[in-house]
Amino acid sequence: MEKISVGLLGLGTVGTGVVKIVEDHQDKLMHLIGCPVQIKKILVQDIQKQRKVDIDQSLLTTNPLEVIEDHEIDVIIEVMGGVEKTKDYLLEALKRKKHVVTANKDLMAVYGTDLLKTATENGCDLFYEASVAGGIPILRSLVDGLASDLITKMMGIVNGTTNFILTKMSKFGSPYEEVLKEAQELGYAEADPTADVEGLDAARKMAILARLGFSMEVDLEDVSVKGISSVTEEDINYSKRLGYTMKLIGIAERSGEKVEVSVQPTLLPDSHPLSSVNDEFNAVYVYGKAVGETMFYGPGAGSLPTATAVVSDLVGVLKNMRLGVNGSSAVSPQFEKKMKTPEEIFAQYFLRIHVQDEVGAFSQITSIFSDHGVSFEKILQLPLKEKGLAEIVVVTHKGSKKDFQEILQQLKELNVVTEVKSTYRVEGNGSR
């Protein structure tokens, strides 16, 4: 091959990083691939916009067809974002026998199965390492490094925005709204932060991880999601008092043939490695039946970390081109999708309950837990400023999600309970 020509869809933060890496690392790319790599055409919204990288204006276009239909372009790199329109562009590129590299988690969570099928049908590669955890090579590790193992659980911090917010709330006692505003000013959070703070971004990533790690067609709607917008300073303070750190944790766990996938604010023991992952950093724990526990840690976003993952995928595509094995990497799911029911999901829980400060109140509460076979591991009981009220904080032993849902409903109906203030999952205590 004399040279490899690449088409780039998008020239924002990540796209700019891709251009820089391809230009600055030509010697290494030549060594790995054996020929130069050239970015031939770039789709942008505004050709005249000032950018942080020097670009030949003749490479820019506002017409996606100039990139997708260019017969000299071998690989399309998609870093423009979006779902419906972007899906159409990539399907057309694959049908034209162009390999695709994407960093688009939203797209892969919703249409990943269809795109991978089209890629295989057309003998093309579709790589998407950068769609989860930025510069951390977690997907490649699942597909290649841990390919011979049986993955039983993946648990981690996969959204840097929420981790930044919870870190600041925990370290400095700052209220949620104040820290969210700071995250927006620093560029960690979008003007509309809903996808991050309500857990949707993390849920998309966990769907992708579960699909690969469990070889099962897990969809976005299979992920149980709860965000951090209702987390209070009191929740975090009580967590710390009991020896826990709060993080937004994605969990994908397999027991036998069935799996559960969730994203929710979770209390971890202070001694747990994920508790020390702070600010915008990401980390994913992977439990394999043979390898045991492994942890992947690093920057979850940013121009160069994410672009590094994108260009690494590009190198993978180009190596496959040299070997003539493009389109053979996608493997159909091995297992039929079987999701756990609430009766089959077991966990510990943290609860804050406001009650009437009267004789017999606590015994009425404990009897509800006892009736469902759920006992307490830790208990705090404190008076409140409001006269005649007390606050009970408990961490339970493991119980089923179904039992816990029924306990919550019965607590809310109990006369001595004025309010169930908050409930969170607890992970990392005792055996799994």
In 122-210 the beta strands, taken as DSSP E runs, fall at: 126-127, 151-157
Strand-pairing partners, residue 399, are 347
Q: Give me the amino acid identity at 347.
A: A
- Write the burial class of residue 310 (CB in 10 Å: 0-12 exposed, 13-18 middle, 19+ buried): buried
| b/e 27-41 (16+ beta carbons within 10 angstroms → b) | eebeeebeeebebbb
CA separation for the pair 1, 200 (Å, rounded): 42
What the block records as the tokens of 85 is: 């329109």
Torsion from C-alpha of 94, 147, 206, 243, nearest 10 degrees: -160
Contacts of 151 (CB under 8 A, 6+ apart): 142, 213, 214, 254, 286, 287, 288, 289
Q: How far is CA 297 from the centre of its chain?
A: 13
The answer to whether 400 and 343 are in contact (CB under 8 A) is yes
CA separation for the pair 410, 227 (Å, rounded): 24
Helix ranges, 294-400 (H): 303-323, 361-371
CA separation for the pair 396, 349 (Å, rounded): 5
Q: Give me the amino acid identity at 131.
A: S
Of 130, 84, 102, give the one whose Cα is nearest residue 305: 130
At residue 167, φ and ψ (nearest 5 deg) are: -65, -45
The answer to whether 242 and 392 are in contact (CB under 8 A) is no
Alpha-carbon dihedral sign for residues 315, 128, 8, 20:
negative
Contacts of 216 (CB under 8 A, 6+ apart): 210, 259, 333, 334, 335, 336, 337, 338
What the block records as the tokens of 426 is: 């607890």
**Which single residue is written with the structure tokens 């209220």?**
175
Residues noted as catalytic: 205
CA separation for the pair 391, 338 (Å, rounded): 40
